[in-house]
Structure 1
């Protein structure tokens, strides 16, 4: 990951040395209120809130096709073999490199990845679930995507994502995404960061060779809410991709899925650009009316 771009950060945000930021004080309090605003909205729609561990089984990501579509973004936790002799071999040869690298002689099999999207554990949790009405779930997670460059709060190796997921019929999912889009616009108006929506595609590996990338161009399924040039939220239609992968049913048919996603640190970035670096002067995400700084 390349060196960070120099930008003016909100008070309470500092750049860490490994493609992430530290958020503290009033900035952290504001970020939590933003997340609470979205979570309360989702629960009001009937969503059940979940907290998942940060590890996603590789077998689940394989079902989704993630390792062929986005191998360049994957982060996997590495551990030493359980064999005592292998561990001793590591200890005997250990010396941290001058560039901060750990000398590894061997690794245990890697069966998990760090979650790249907050919604992914939802589909695996609902495996073989058959429903007679829409299922809504909301969750927040630290997500990991090994991007090629680092822009503080905007493009990070680790970042916070709040998602609301709908599993249902094609019509029910589309209605849910329309509602989500309206909710994003309401929140943007409340915080003074309005902007357009833009059709987008996911960052596929070698998109010129990806059939999924072509299908996204022919049938747009991802729309991003922009603040300036930065996407701060998105609505995503998956059709029956996850339904087929995990045998999710809606009545007698394969379920469709969709999600509304919020990149929380990105909201910090754009609100700071609009109202200045002091979070105490920003609009309150939990306020029920639009307006200027509180």
Structure 2
């Protein structure tokens, strides 16, 4: 049985049981395979970044309510002691590291300062962290895994990638018997004083695939935002455009449990059959 834990009794963190772990790993393998079959290379990002790196992406301007910071202890007094399950600010050093709320940041930092040889495709998975007002088990966790497929290069390339994998998501969901709806999202990705923010309001840059009221995947267009912030260039010397496709793995797990009930083997078999129904390479 999956165990939930969290501070002050909040169901914010999950320890997955063996069956749930197998199902989540199989889901991740399916989404990873989509990227690899389309020519993506896999990279491995760290679970935290310098605050100075995350600042480049306006994380603390646009998403301060979601942000977590990581730091060490101030040992000047020679003692570290929690009081009522908490460490007070006087026991902590200044926070120089931040915990990411999205996986794709690693792709842009990996290529920071690079001139790409051409259109590029990466895939990566990471722990993401979100400081939510409330938690709801696998539906909404403080720490969860997100698999992403990230396109860097020409605008046409980025749009082809999100169109291609959007169809994969729809085909996969149909094969699983999941009634997903594609909805435009309103996350404030760009700063309000950025010209891209106005363009985003006129033409949505993020679409979510929702099971009821729960978003379990999304496709995202960033234009040249990350290319500029990380000085990533196309072969012609212009800043690269980027896009990404994201899968919240624990949320997919919750949806499959809702769809197939308490029979994890049925869900696992359904995922494997549905994967065979999705075509990637010839799209």
Query: TM-score, structure 2 length as denominator?
Result: 0.88
* Number of residue pairs matched by the alignment: 269
| Residues 137 and 166 in structure 1, CA contact (< 8 A), matched pair in contact too | yes
SS of residue in 2 equivalent to 1:155: coil
| Structure 1 position 133, deviation (Å) | 1.6
| Residues 77 and 112 in structure 1, CA contact (< 8 A), matched pair in contact too | yes
Structure 2: distance between partners of 1:255 and 1:138: 17
1:13 matched to which residue of 2? 2
2:77 matched to which residue of 1? 89
Superimposed CA distance per residue, residues 6-50 of structure 1 (whole angstroms, 9 cap, x where no aligned partner): xxxxxx322212411111111110110000011111111111111
* 1:285 partnered with 2:271: yes
2:38 matched to which residue of 1? 45
Structure 2: distance between partners of 1:172 and 1:116: 25
| Residues 20 and 156 in structure 1, CA contact (< 8 A), matched pair in contact too | yes
Structure 2: distance between partners of 1:192 and 1:90: 58
Distance 1:129 1:88, change over 3 A: closer
2:258 matched to which residue of 1? 273
1:142 matched to which residue of 2? 127
1:179 matched to which residue of 2? 164
2:138 matched to which residue of 1? 153
* 1:198 partnered with 2:175: no
SS of residue in 1 equivalent to 2:92: coil
Show structure 2 runs of 5+ residues with no match. Answer: 278-283
* 1:22 partnered with 2:15: yes
| Residues 201 and 213 in structure 1, CA contact (< 8 A), matched pair in contact too | no
| Structure 1 position 177, deviation (Å) | 0.7
Question: Which deviates the most, 277-286 or 153-162?
Answer: 277-286
Query: TM-score, structure 1 length as denominator?
Result: 0.85
1:220 matched to which residue of 2? 204
| Structure 1 position 61, deviation (Å) | 1.1
| Structure 1 position 201, deviation (Å) | 1.7
* 1:72 partnered with 2:65: yes
| Structure 1 position 67, deviation (Å) | 1.1
Show structure 1 runs of 5+ residues with no match. Answer: 1-11, 82-86
Structure 2: distance between partners of 1:183 and 1:204: 25
| Residues 76 and 113 in structure 1, CA contact (< 8 A), matched pair in contact too | yes
| Residues 89 and 105 in structure 1, CA contact (< 8 A), matched pair in contact too | no
Structure 2: distance between partners of 1:249 and 1:229: 38
Matches within 5 A, 1:94-105: 94-98=80-84, 100-105=85-90
Structure 1: distance between partners of 2:119 and 2:254: 34
| Residues 75 and 146 in structure 1, CA contact (< 8 A), matched pair in contact too | yes
